[in-house]
Amino acid sequence: MKQHGSEFALEGLEFRDTLVLGNGATLRLPAVMGVLNVTPDSFTDGGRYLDPEPALAHALAMENAGADIIDVGGESTRPGAGAVPAGEELRRLLPVLERLRERLRVPFSIDTRKAPVALAALRLGAAMVNDVSGLGFDPAMAATVAQARASLVLGHTRGTPDGMASRAEYADPVEEVRAELAAAVARALTAGVPRERIIVDPGFGFAKNGQHNLALLAHLPRICTLGYPVMVGLSGKRLGIGRAMQLPEHRLARNAAAQVMAVLMGAAIVRVHEPAPAAEALRVVRAIKTAAQMGTAEVHA
Ligand code: HH2
């Protein structure tokens, strides 16, 4: 039974309603991922959670607001951002991860492109590695994740954040992103990452302009045909419907609408900076879908 399919060209696609992560935790799908950036310079929340106590408080608040998983990052990957050495990334992250391990009830993932950072986080209980470079940055990443039997998000990008804007050139963004994600999946499988641990993400805003983002969202079912759960990170990103359609996090209604559309088009996980509106919107989606699976008489009863 399709759990989060729709009439949007999803015929023939199978969607699951749960995802078992590398550490055995189970995510109910569609899931809301709350973002915690332990950085001085992230786009949306840079500088707010550099100290471990505010970081922990924010993670717990996101959990209370309905986040099913918390994604923790120690390096900004916004366009133009410079690389942060692994030692500095770890210095930022470790005190936060230690607190999350003790206090968080939901699982957490580590948003990093670097194998040593991923390994340290996995040792502290991270369920999943979120690599926005799709294994393109650190040659040791695939083996590190495979050995840990962790879940792995393969994000699509081209080049590194400081140069990716100039790589945003596509004849067909949807098919090219799909093909490049398929190549990343092949690399992960070859390194021994189990098939059922892989998640793909078209990488909104990564080597993409607003029009590319919009095309990818509008044709998300094509990305779903890769056969892996799809994650989307739309909040804080630009969609190419003119200047009015930026998706700043404080524009909650716009953001919730984008998350709902992504889920109706097959997204399994939505990555958001403010989980409450997305979690509430998805609760409504689930209730309507449950009703849709009943006969019309039952719904009226
Ligand atoms: N976007 C950002 C960071 N990590 N991971 C995945 N899988 N998908 C995304 O779309 C994604 C991501 C960028 O957003 P943010 O974390 O707010 O900014 P920064 O990279 O500046 O910390």
CATH of 27-293, one of 3.40.50.300, 3.30.360.10, 3.50.50.60, 3.20.20.20: 3.20.20.20
Alpha-carbon span 11 to 5, nearest angstrom: 8
Gap between the Cα atoms of 147 and 119, Å rounded: 10
Q: How far apart are CA 67 and CA 33, in angstroms?
A: 6
pLDDT at residue 136 in the model = 96
Strand duo 26-28 + 31-37: pairing: unpaired
The domain segmentation of the chain, as residue ranges, is 27-293
**What integer is the mean pLDDT of 235-246?**
67
pLDDT band at 13 (very low <50, low <70, confident <90, very high): low
What mean pLDDT is predicted for residues 99-123?
98
Per-residue pLDDT for 247 more than 80? no
pLDDT of 92 > 70? The answer is: yes
Report which of 161, 162, 146 is spatially closest to residue 196, judged by C-alpha positions: 146
What is the tens place of the pLDDT at every residue in 216-228? 999 999 999 999 9
Q: Please give the model's pTM, rounded to 2 decimal places.
A: 0.92
Q: What does the angle CA 258 – CA 262 – CA 263 come to, to the nearest 5 degrees? A: 120
**∠148-113-201 over CA atoms, to 5°?**
90
Annotation says 271 is catalytic: yes
Pocket test for ligand 1, best of 32, 33, 35 (most atoms within 8 A of CB): 35
The tens digit of pLDDT for each residue in 117-171 reads 999 999 999 999 999 999 999 999 999 999 999 999 999 999 888 888 888 899 9
Averaged pLDDT, 84-101 = 97
List, chain by chain if needed, residues with CB within 6 Å of any ligand 1 atom. 35, 37, 39, 42-44, 73, 76-78, 111, 130, 132, 153, 155, 201, 203-204, 231, 233, 236, 271
| Amino acid in position 235 | S
Helix orientation angle between 173-191 and 210-218, rounded to the nearest 10 degrees: 70
